[in-house]
Amino acid sequence: MPAASTFRRTPLITRTTGWSWPVPPTMSPRSACRGLIIRCWVRWFRCRRRAECCVRRGCRFVHIRGLRITLWAGVVLVPGTALVELVVRAGDKVGCGTLEELVIETPLVVPAQGSMRVQFAVGGPEENGARSVAVYSARDDDGRGTGIDGWTRHAAGTLTAAAVPADGFDFTVWPPVGAERVSFDAVGFYEEMAGRGYVYGPAFQGLRGVWRRGEEVFAEVALPDEQHGEASRFGLHPALLDAALQSGLVRPADAGVDMRVPFAWNGLRLHAAGASELRVRTVPSGPDAVSLQAADGAGGPVLSLESLVARAVDVEQLDRMATDDGRDALFEVDWSELPAPASSVESLPPSALVASAEDVTDLADAAVVPAVAVLEAVGGDGEHDALALTVRVLEVVQAWFAAAGLAESRLVVVTRGAVPVGGEGNVADPAGAAVWGLVRAAQAENPDRIVLLDLAADVDMGSVLPAVLA
């Protein structure tokens, strides 16, 4: 430790005017699209009952440069293909590599600021060996974890060990016989999608060519060159699977349709991992649904998907999910004028004045306990006065809550000129303002036991207290 002589006093910069109030940092959806890194970890734990085994995979989404994501109607979403990839990988850990069903109940919206924690929970085996799976998320801005009430379930489904054979379609003959090439301009296609509300990050702009044969749609999709090295880290890269879906679910000819996102995945099986390019075949399988098969560049099977259903998405709801979160907001006290009580207390109930913690103790031990006690908390101009006042009020409040005999009584803390009502006027007593901050916190923890009353310097307390307590 340096010697005391090496320390020197440094004056602080002080201001009397011109304070710059902080504004919460924001991130536009387009800037958020610049990157999202998904960092995953797997935690195994066995429940007390041997029949149950759970896998939890947590992912923290951070707005830094990396894997780029999609923008839907001005809102950044974690693509359903990313959830599918992680659910399937979790299923692999328990020998259930087939995704029998996954229903996206609520889109996973990336907040405009902050980070999120995502968990994938796999349940114990049922009689047929199937396991339930669910996806949850919670805001994790402070990095300290989240209570159970803060979690939202986004998807639920079933994993099985049943083998789904690869479709017998021959992908080695490419393009397929009789398929007609569709005039396709990738730049124009994604610009048109952006105009309709689907803005894809560069990694998701993987559609390279499209062919049609009746109701069948064939496509070539590939990851950008800079993403090829990432392909081996995934069963199937989410951006590659998303690009495969674009040929069947999202078509430029469908102008004017509602915004749609993948909703229900059924019968998905991964036959090979690490692909960086795909040959894709999609066929309608029902209203707003398609089936999909995919192979690698040599025609080897990669993916089978029996059915994928898309549904319209509520754009306004997505926008609220992305922005309507008060945890990161700057707060202020807003005053609401209440009507005068129809009848007020004509005279004060039995009351007493307290000035210290000792007074509170004596009051609690008295033969007759008053219904109301009044603490006048008026400070001076100096900083030491403010400190002394808040310490004294804190001691009184702590003693009040600790006194069992005062559980049915109310403490009225009276300040003068401590708060400007409605944003008008000046704070005449800064020490009293500090008392308000302290006591408001105590009120939040112990409702209805403390009343805060701020008066002008020339107002008689006895003239207003009956109405306040009415």
pLDDT, one tens digit per residue, over 378-427 is 877 666 778 889 999 999 999 999 998 898 899 999 998 888 866 566 77
Question: Letter for the amino acid at 15?
Answer: R
- The number of angstroms, rounded, from the C-alpha of 400 to the middle of its chain's C-alpha atoms is 38
Q: What is the pLDDT of residue 310?
A: 84
- Dihedral sign (CA 326, 327, 329, 334): positive
Q: What is the pLDDT of residue 202?
A: 84
List the structure tokens of 177.
């016989």
Question: Domain coordinates of the chain in residue numbers?
Answer: 29-327, 332-469
Which is nearest to 243 in space by CA: 200, 299, 306? 200
- The number of angstroms, rounded, from the C-alpha of 459 to the middle of its chain's C-alpha atoms is 47
Q: What is the pLDDT of residue 316?
A: 60
Contact 282, 247 (CB under 8 A): yes
List the structure tokens of 434.
């500090």
List the structure tokens of 268.
């998905």
Fold category of 332-469 in CATH: Rossmann fold (3.40.50)
pLDDT digits (tens, 9 = 90+) for 77-107: 788 898 999 899 889 888 999 999 999 988 8
Contact 282, 270 (CB under 8 A): no
How many angstroms separate the CA atoms of 354 and 334, rounded? 30
How many angstroms separate the CA atoms of 411 and 373, rounded? 5
Fold category of 29-327 in CATH: Thiol Ester Dehydrase; Chain A (3.10.129)
How does pLDDT run along the chain (470 residues), one tens digit per residue?
Answer: 444 445 455 444 443 333 333 433 443 333 333 333 333 333 333 332 332 333 444 443 333 223 334 444 456 778 889 899 989 988 988 899 999 999 998 888 777 666 677 888 888 899 999 999 998 888 765 444 444 457 889 999 999 998 777 777 899 999 999 999 988 888 888 888 777 767 788 888 899 999 999 999 999 999 998 888 889 989 999 999 999 988 864 454 444 445 567 889 999 999 999 999 999 999 998 888 899 999 999 999 999 999 999 877 665 655 555 555 545 555 566 677 766 666 555 556 667 889 999 999 998 888 888 888 999 988 776 667 788 899 999 999 999 999 988 988 999 999 988 888 665 667 788 888 889 989 988 888 888 899 998 888 888 887 777 777 76
Which is nearest to 120 in space by CA: 215, 226, 38? 38
What pTM, to 2 d.p., does this model score? 0.57
How many angstroms separate the CA atoms of 230 and 228, rounded? 5
Q: What is the pLDDT of residue 75?
A: 61
List the structure tokens of 95.
């020998």
Q: What is the pLDDT of residue 212?
A: 93
